[in-house]
Amino acid sequence: MNEARLFAGVFIDKSVFSSIYSKIISEFDKVSFGKWVEDYNLHFTMKFIGDVERDEIPEIKNTLSDILVDYYSKLTFKGLFALPNKGLPRVLYAGINVEDGALRESAVAIDSRLQELGFPKENREFVPHITLLRMKSTNNGFRSLLAKYSDYYFGEMGSYKINLIESRLSPRGPIYKIIA
């Protein structure tokens, strides 16, 4: 395999969701059907890079080296939401509130630097969120259950690390490996 599927992202400390995640799964499984993200795979994507030749990885690492570091900034996880907002929902996600502008600045810098290497620029605004469920279908109780969790406080992290992550697709779901 000569290519790697990459993204820049942040893994979430699974203790943030540990006290409530199984309850959310249990409740939403009654009103939706789909694939849940395992608690150890919870993350948010800063920039999806896509399939790249393995020999390009050192240059990507070098270009992003000063961004792929620890940040001491608070992230608060609050509320459940669905995408798209109207129509048939396909993704259930947890919202992220950011204490300062460091996360957005990092996303813009990653996008800009990768564009200089020939990767396409993002055409939509960076909105950090944690995908919990990729849905195939929902029933009538979905929207009211979603409303119940619209302002739910999950917890926070006082720091985070941006990583370069390889995603290998498998029949049981993605397998993530931090490569920088």
Write out pLDDT tens, residues 105-136: 999 999 999 999 999 999 989 999 999 999 99
Q: Is the pLDDT of residue 173 over 90?
A: no
Give residue 168's identity as a one-letter amino acid code.
Answer: R
pLDDT tens digits, 51-110:
999 999 999 999 999 999 999 999 999 999 999 877 789 999 999 999 888 999 999 999
d(CA 10, CA 46): 7
Bridge partners of 48, per DSSP, are: 7
Question: Whole domain around residue 21: which residue ranges?
Answer: 3-178
Q: How many domains does the chain have?
A: 1
- 22 CB neighbour count, 10 Å cutoff: 11
Q: Is the pLDDT of residue 148 over 70?
A: yes
Confidence of residue 9 (pLDDT cuts 50, 70, 90): very high
The active-site residue out of 129, 134, 179, 180 is 129
Confidence of residue 1 (pLDDT cuts 50, 70, 90): low
Provide the mean pLDDT of the chain. Answer: 95
The active-site residue out of 27, 39, 43, 83 is 43
Task: Give residue 80's pLDDT.
Answer: 98
* 129 assigned to active site: yes
| pLDDT > 70 fraction of the chain, expressed in percent and rounded | 99
Task: Give residue 85's pLDDT.
Answer: 78
d(CA 126, CA 173): 25
Task: Give residue 58's pLDDT.
Answer: 98
d(CA 171, CA 127): 28
Determine the 3-state secondary structure of 13 from DSSP.
Answer: coil
Bridge partners of 36, per DSSP, are: 133
CATH code for the domain of 77: 3.90.1140.10
